[in-house]
Amino acid sequence: MSNPSIEPLVEYADASAEVRAVYDDIMATRKSDWVNNFWNVLAHDPANLKRTWEALKLVMGPGALDPLTKELIYIAVSATNGCEYCTYSHTASARAKGMTDAMLMETLAVAAKANETNRLANALRPPVDPQFLPKG
Amino acid sequence: MSNPSIEPLVEYADASAEVRAVYDDIMATRKSDWVNNFWNVLAHDPANLKRTWEALKLVMGPGALDPLTKELIYIAVSATNGCEYCTYSHTASARAKGMTDAMLMETLAVAAKANETNRLANALRPPVDPQFLPKG
Amino acid sequence: MSNPSIEPLVEYADASAEVRAVYDDIMATRKSDWVNNFWNVLAHDPANLKRTWEALKLVMGPGALDPLTKELIYIAVSATNGCEYCTYSHTASARAKGMTDAMLMETLAVAAKANETNRLANALRPPVDPQFLPKG
Amino acid sequence: MSNPSIEPLVEYADASAEVRAVYDDIMATRKSDWVNNFWNVLAHDPANLKRTWEALKLVMGPGALDPLTKELIYIAVSATNGCEYCTYSHTASARAKGMTDAMLMETLAVAAKANETNRLANALRPPVDPQFLPKG
Amino acid sequence: MSNPSIEPLVEYADASAEVRAVYDDIMATRKSDWVNNFWNVLAHDPANLKRTWEALKLVMGPGALDPLTKELIYIAVSATNGCEYCTYSHTASARAKGMTDAMLMETLAVAAKANETNRLANALRPPVDPQFLPKG
Amino acid sequence: MSNPSIEPLVEYADASAEVRAVYDDIMATRKSDWVNNFWNVLAHDPANLKRTWEALKLVMGPGALDPLTKELIYIAVSATNGCEYCTYSHTASARAKGMTDAMLMETLAVAAKANETNRLANALRPPVDPQFLPKG
């Protein structure tokens, strides 16, 4: 069930030139021939669509970390936040970049374990060990 | 400031044989000569200490993902949950496994961006694209 | 799919006098002729229903902030928490109070951006600037 | 470090009659002779102070659950949300109602485990089993 | 709608001996004749399945807290995290251990109230009262 | 206590031309003569600094909502996420744009109340009312 507040989805055929330019860049960057619904909804605010896509493309691109590692981090955060759509879309993105079943299961095991120990630390509040502090 | 409810920290010298066995395994696994405060607090419940450590050792060890990638995922989740102690301790762990400044900054950029887009998706609730669904 | 644990919904026709009094006040306050399902479920605990409605009416009413601004804040928090039902119901409330598409998109852009920078600050933990501290 | 935006704390000696009435009720209910800082800050908005205290007193009082069980639930949620002040204050409240070290450690173990499995379920999204659905 | 990334569910008939051993223990512990989908999905990673089940069995079993109290804490955390599947499955578990409608409604009222006051404390950041600090 | 992983803070005197250009824009936009620590930490990744600042400037600027309303939304989200630094810095920003004590207290009351009702809805999962769905 989708949120009725912002509708309908902005399809390519009905999009303005400004929106189409973003859609074209999404498809070119991903080497695909379609644009997923997340962007079709955001397109109701073309400036926000453009800004969000360009920042995401930059952040998720290659750098000190490879793109697959970035997708795994994305999945871990989405699982933590309970974002259903993101779970579906980024699992698909990660698979397209080479994620195997074993990698997904391990990513989730780490994310889940971090959520467990985060709460123990948040409640027991051990003092930060001096060894973790800067030397200088 | 640490939580006064469970104190004092259980130091090695005062620990039971059961707790010392876990502390010894933590130091042996990490090739270090000290145990950080998180474990010194958990030691008030020796069964929980042992279970938590053994599960963490298994989950964070090598597998389909390498240990450094796992630490990056851990940091991303801890940033999402705002866990201060975990931020300090796992940044240290990740550095010990080779994380550079650039890798940390990129990990946080991805985690932060996922937190941003998760909220757009959670509110706008685009329908899940059929392309993301199973074929069969 | 609704949670089967507490059912069925408490409809007006089947409600006790205590529950009807709350339903009547909800409809009178909103100038509407129906009560949404959130209240029909809470009605299984009439004391809690009354307390929750009265507090909400007070908090969301006019004061130092106008009711529409309060609805936008509500939507931003609900997006952050990933609450599906709240997203639907408060988007409707906000529209009834004059929210336009552009206002919704900007509210979500701000909420999403805050979620992004919150995580950068939670992980990097810059020291609080003295300029932000009280003078006295 | 406290938030400088709302200060100073509203002490009993400087409080209005409206605020003192709430402070008196807090002390009478708790059979104590002081009011903790959470209420001294909220007192900058006397109507909100009164509403928040009265709702809390009602919710945390005896009912289908005993007050100690309610404090344990409160601690579990506060650990999940990473609320430092709440961790300190409700650990103290729970101790005053009979919580032992062992009960605290088990409460946190359950809360932490729930945070772990919540993330596995949020990401893997198993279909809800028909056995969990209502019969009728 | 379930996540297509990890499928199909691992049914008993198709499971390895390692997975069947866990399924058998789940059914024996619960005195039931079926295994719910959460475990059927986790079974794609047999080592993680075994570890997660064994830790959960230990944490949720009797100790300083009775099993029903633990289920209520579980529900409170799941509501806080917005985990749909966990809400369904642990409401069912809690009912099987004696939870009444009134107990569920009170658990949720406490959890919801804690979520409210956690945010007031997180933003207003009252200084921690010296009375909450350790004596020594 | 600040996170030692990324240090020291990048002061103007030591900054590269690329970083200085961002600092200059921050000061010009805010009509101030200093840059707060959040940016001094982010400056370790100049591309991320520039991208984050430019997106934030755009999102928080005037549009369908006025800048003060945007600051209130920011504070509400930061309280929900428990971000200490953000609480301090955005309370200061909001005050500079005209926020009164009464407006702050009401913003927090709404945010806190939304966090409460979000959890009731997340657990009880009332079916979405047909009145909230799109007509077409």
Quick one: how far is CA F122 from the chain centroid?
26
Assign C5 a pLDDT band (cuts: 50, 70, 90): low
In chain F, CATH 1.20.1290.10 covers: 1-60, 64-126
Helix intervals (H) in E2-125 = 17-30, 37-42, 46-60, 67-81, 84-96, 101-124
Instruction: Give mean pLDDT, residues D54-61.
Output: 95
pLDDT of residue D133: 75
Taking CB atoms and an 8 Å limit, are E108 and F116 in contact across chains? no
Q: Which residues of C touch B115 (CB under 8 A)?
A: 115-116, 118-119
Residue predicted with more confidence, C130 or D135: C130
> In this model, does residue F119 exceed pLDDT 90?
yes
D82 touches chain C (CB under 8 A): no
pLDDT of residue A95: 94
The two tokens of residue B56 are: 């963490």
> In this model, does residue B48 exceed pLDDT 70?
yes
Assign A133 a pLDDT band (cuts: 50, 70, 90): confident
The two tokens of residue E63 are: 């100790």
Residue with tokens 């379609």: A34
- State the nearest Cα–Cα gap between C22 and chain F, in angstroms: 17
Please count the CA atoms within 13 angstroms of the CA of C116 that sit on its side-chain side: 25
C123 touches chain B (CB under 8 A): yes
Q: Which residues of C touch A4 (CB under 8 A)?
A: 88, 91
pTM across the whole model: 0.95
pLDDT of residue E7: 72
> In this model, does residue D91 exceed pLDDT 80?
yes
Positive or negative CA dihedral for E128, D7, C71, C7?
positive
pLDDT tens track for D17-26 = 999 999 999 9
Instruction: Give mean pLDDT, residues F76-99.
Output: 95
pLDDT of residue B91: 94
Measure the CA–CA gap between D73 and F24, rounded to whole angstroms: 49
pLDDT of residue D115: 98
Assign C65 a pLDDT band (cuts: 50, 70, 90): very high
Mean pLDDT over the full length of chain C: 92
D60 touches chain E (CB under 8 A): yes
E1-50: what fold? AhpD-like (1.20.1290)
Query: Based on C-alpha coordinates, what's the Rg of chain E?
Result: 19
Is CATH 3.40.50.300 what the domain over A1-60 is classified as, yes or no?
no
Q: Shortest CB distance from F108 goes to which of E109, E112, E124?
A: E124
For residue B103, give the nearest of A66, A75, E2 by alpha carbon.
A66
What's the CATH class of domain C64-125? mainly alpha
pLDDT of residue D5: 58
The two tokens of residue C2 are: 């609704």
Q: Which residues of F touch D3 (CB under 8 A)?
A: 87-88, 91
pLDDT tens track for F21-63 = 999 999 999 999 999 999 999 999 999 999 999 999 999 999 9
E115 touches chain F (CB under 8 A): yes
Judge whether B106 and F105 are in contact, CB under 8 Å. no
Mean pLDDT over the full length of chain A: 92
- Exposure of F101 by Cβ count < 10 A (0-12 exposed, 13-18 middle, 19+ buried)? middle
For residue A87, give the nearest of F7, D119, E95 by alpha carbon.
D119
Assign F134 a pLDDT band (cuts: 50, 70, 90): low
Q: Shortest CB distance from B91 goes to which of F3, F45, F81?
A: F3
Assign F133 a pLDDT band (cuts: 50, 70, 90): confident
E62-124: what fold? AhpD-like (1.20.1290)
Cβ atoms within 10 Å of D6's Cβ, excluding its own:
22
In chain D, CATH 1.20.1290.10 covers: 1-60, 63-125
Residue with tokens 């088990």: D106
B102 touches chain F (CB under 8 A): yes
pLDDT tens track for D113-130 = 999 999 999 999 999 998
List the chains bordering chain A where 3 or more Cβ pairs fall under 8 Å: B, C, D, E, F
Measure the CA–CA gap between C115 and C111, rounded to whole angstroms: 6
Instruction: Give mean pLDDT, residues C13-41.
Output: 96
Assign D134 a pLDDT band (cuts: 50, 70, 90): low
Judge whether F89 and F75 are in contact, CB under 8 Å. no
pLDDT of residue A136: 46
Pick the CATH number of D63-125 from 3.55.50.30, 1.10.10.10, 1.10.150.20, 1.20.1290.10: 1.20.1290.10
In chain E, CATH 1.20.1290.10 covers: 1-50, 62-124
A123 touches chain E (CB under 8 A): no
Taking CB atoms and an 8 Å limit, are C108 and B117 in contact across chains? no
pLDDT of residue D22: 98
- State the nearest Cα–Cα gap between E107 and chain C, in angstroms: 12
B63-124: what fold? AhpD-like (1.20.1290)
In chain C, CATH 1.20.1290.10 covers: 1-60, 64-125
pLDDT of residue F136: 46
Measure the CA–CA gap between B126 and B61, rounded to whole angstroms: 37
> Which residues have C-beta within 8 Å of that of residue A134, sequence separation ≥ 6?
F4, F7
The two tokens of residue E36 are: 């719910």
> In this model, does residue F8 exceed pLDDT 90?
no
E102 touches chain C (CB under 8 A): yes
Taking CB atoms and an 8 Å limit, are E5 and A104 in contact across chains? yes
Instruction: Give mean pLDDT, residues F128-133.
Output: 87
Instruction: Give mean pLDDT, residues F69-76.
Output: 98
Q: Shortest CB distance from E77 goes to which of D1, D114, D129?
A: D114
What's the CATH class of domain F64-126? mainly alpha
> In this model, does residue E2 exceed pLDDT 70?
no
F62 touches chain E (CB under 8 A): no
Phi/psi at E135 (nearest 5 deg)?
Answer: -70, -45
The torsion of the CA quartet E13, D131, E81, D47, rounded to 10 degrees, works out to -170
> In this model, does residue D136 exceed pLDDT 50?
no
> In this model, does residue A91 exceed pLDDT 90?
yes
- State the nearest Cα–Cα gap between F97 and chain A, in angstroms: 24
> In this model, does residue E54 exceed pLDDT 60?
yes
Chain A, residues 9-48, CB within 8 A of chain C, namely 44-45, 48
Assign D135 a pLDDT band (cuts: 50, 70, 90): low
3-state secondary structure of B4: coil
> In this model, does residue E55 exceed pLDDT 90?
yes
A116 touches chain E (CB under 8 A): no
